[in-house]
Amino acid sequence: MQLQFHQVRYFLALARTLNFTRAAEQCNVTQPALTKAVHKLEQELGGALIHRERHLTQLTELGKMILPTLEKIFTAAEAVRLQARGYQKKTIAPLKIGLVPSVSAALITELLLELA
């Protein structure tokens, strides 16, 4: 199984809006592209995620079941992307602080909280 990031993003937009046109607008893609990606995700997962009717779109039981997990995956992937972007732009960098045993870490806690 190979989930694609854009498929997950499109499904999440569709799950929020329950409307293919609005979900496509939110994702900045055409409605056919969104539909195709969601259909491909359904094939990967082995079942329908969306119950499609003319004027009524609903999540299937499978769609409802996997929604929380896909939201976590998407959130984690976005966090990784932001961390990497921040690191590349030098807005995020590792900080290492060494203390001799005679200096209490409690003395610098407030300073580190302000720095963060």
pLDDT above 70 (res 40)? yes
CA distance 36 to 77: 22
pLDDT of 111 reads: 77
- The token pair that represents 102 in the structure block: 């005679």
Reported in sequence order, the residue ranges of the chain that DSSP labels E, i.e. its strands, are: 50-52, 57-59
For the chain, the domains span 5-88
Q: Residue 93's pLDDT band (boundaries 50, 70, 90)? A: low
pLDDT above 80 (res 36)? yes
Mean pLDDT of 31-44: 96
- The token pair that represents 16 in the structure block: 């929020």
Q: What contacts 49, CB < 8 A, 6 or more positions away?
A: 11, 38, 41, 42, 59, 60, 62, 63, 66
pLDDT greater at residue 30 or residue 102: 30
pLDDT of 73 reads: 93
Q: What is the assigned CATH class of domain 5-88?
A: mainly alpha
pLDDT above 80 (res 115)? no
